[in-house]
Amino acid sequence: MAADPHALFEEWFTEARLAEPNDAEAMALATADVHGRPSVRMVLLKGHDARGFVFYTNSASRKGDELAANPRAALLFHWKSLRRQVRIEGAVEPVDDAQADGYFATRSRDSQIGAWASDQSRPMPDRASFEARYQTLVGDYEGRQVPRPSHWRGYRVVPERIEFWIDRAHRLHERRLFLRDGPGGDWDGWRESLLYP
């Protein structure tokens, strides 16, 4: 039994980067609106440490709207080549502007301009309109640095629950659960247990 789920995640994530043919960083992100209606989509993990798991998106997108109304989320990593999953649940908080700016600066120029051009999750009249907007912005930013749009931000899922799942024969899977532990909600450690398959 390990005392630190973040260390175990890093170990598994390192193995996944070597084993997965595409996007070991891909994770399903589940959110819910103010009425509890769920929604799930794939996003990419862009950082993790003891504070949580970070991804970036348009805050005016559907997921951004849902996170504003209900700042809780669940993540799922499924590394099929390793026959492993990691499930994470917790509150969501924005990353600070400096961190978002730093990551935005590492994106390709095309992706930076795309963040300005896309009204993510909103109705689009036709593909040509979007491509024309994109090309206009390419011209507008020619020879200049592309700044991060204020609507493009980072979010951190602060885990309260992390489950490590390993596939076993005959569906006799191994499930290790870590729960945040601390007196009066003052999180200061993790409690580990096993779950039946």
Task: Burial-class residue 21 by CB neighbours within 10 Å (0-12, 13-18, 19+).
Answer: exposed
Residues 6+ apart with CB under 8 A from 159: 5, 52, 53, 88, 89, 90, 180
State the Cα–Cα distance between residues 42 and 25, nearest whole angstrom: 10
Q: At what angle do helices 127-140 and 109-117 cross, to 10 degrees?
A: 120
Residues annotated catalytic, as ranges: 171
State the Cα–Cα distance between residues 43 and 141, nearest whole angstrom: 27
Residue 185 structure tokens: 């909600």
Residues in the chain: 197
Tell me which amino acid residue 193 is: S
